[in-house]
Structure 1
């Protein structure tokens, strides 16, 4: 299959949803996976990015989209009721923060939560990196700012790194190079060094001892936001050319839904939507959003 930008953005969103669902053990009827909360929040992130016009702060639009999601509205639905209106599990930190109406910032986070939803939902920000020049800083800082809208400062750097890996993969960089590029860009963007160290430890572990579920478990410990980042890095670098093996390894991590969502998104971005053949119940919605992100957000960056 020919690799296209739209195809890889579709792969990112499909891989995120599939990885989360597999990690949460959420099969649906006929072998179709039931999407989870992180997939819904990622769709809200995409909506916010799409609503942001030239000169508009995309993070403000993302926060507005999260608030609509918290009320179970979805203005970007094509027509009729959507599966994304459904309650698909706990999202306590996000929902409690959104209920206040306030928005956290990098200087003044709203909460101290270290939950991984803040990292995974930032992945659509990678669409800002569909052009090379000057994109890394925008990707890193925008993703970090979306994380602290509802979560603690500790989530900012993992969200930025996760989006940077995805952005590099969308531009066609193999995952081994994408991770290295992301860590260097995270340092230049001034993201918290602790997250960079956690991801770098996973890089070194994958080089020394790839494919070890016990290492995935160890690396995935600690705060949820850095744990899922490290476990996903270890998994995709253990099997960078074998998406199914990489995802299977990510799913052995302690927070399997989060690590699976991150690894699945990166693998889909790098290898396309058919790399992970698992079917997700909202695949059509994800594909439509992917195409709009490519034409809208990516188009604005390239204009």
Structure 2
């Protein structure tokens, strides 16, 4: 199958579809632009290595970044990179043909992580965790070798909220995927330009654009069941209370460490009372005592405290 067979030209869309496509594209561009600005994701002369898996998210990310590149007030380069993990049946011709049709620089990196995963993970077990770690290590190393200053990944708002709950439910940790991340060895910076974008919008845009999607099921592994359960939970919440996913994501940007319980982030042990300043009025502070067995003569005089 060729990329032409998989891609429907925008000109073949109906007038209504074109209108909807333009509307959703503007929304995505606005959200991506805001995320880039808020987190200073892209700077002058950056070389952005855009990791393309063959899924809808990375295709949409590349598409939007290429459009923003043309109108951005700064100059930056985009290099598309796909990691061919040698999964049986992977259509090797699809992505090179697509990149060539866009006339953009690209690399297809061959790394047989499939064999490593199959050798280390028992049959029937989820391979996604190890596969992701091997893929990340390869991309980090390759980014440095080509002089890339940022690595762009296609995770969106839904991914980040799902990861928050996965870490809480199964890892007892309050953490997610940050929009911008400095690697532990400080040699790479990862950015997630789709951080403010909902998956449903990306899916709608991908349907209009007819990207040559390559399904991530060639290795025979099923997507992590825990993530699927969390996704189903959030989907149900979103139906019952529209905007809940956005609200949860916003909470990640509005953290009060003193209202949590991590002693490494906040010094709970050394909290002390300080009544040296002028007392501020409390709401409903004029209380009346209706009954007590306390001898008021034993009260400490607090008028001068």
TM surpasses 0.5: no
User: TM-score scaled to structure 2, two decimals?
Assistant: 0.32
User: TM-score scaled to structure 1, two decimals?
Assistant: 0.32
Q: Which has the higher helix share?
A: 1
Larger radius of gyration: 2
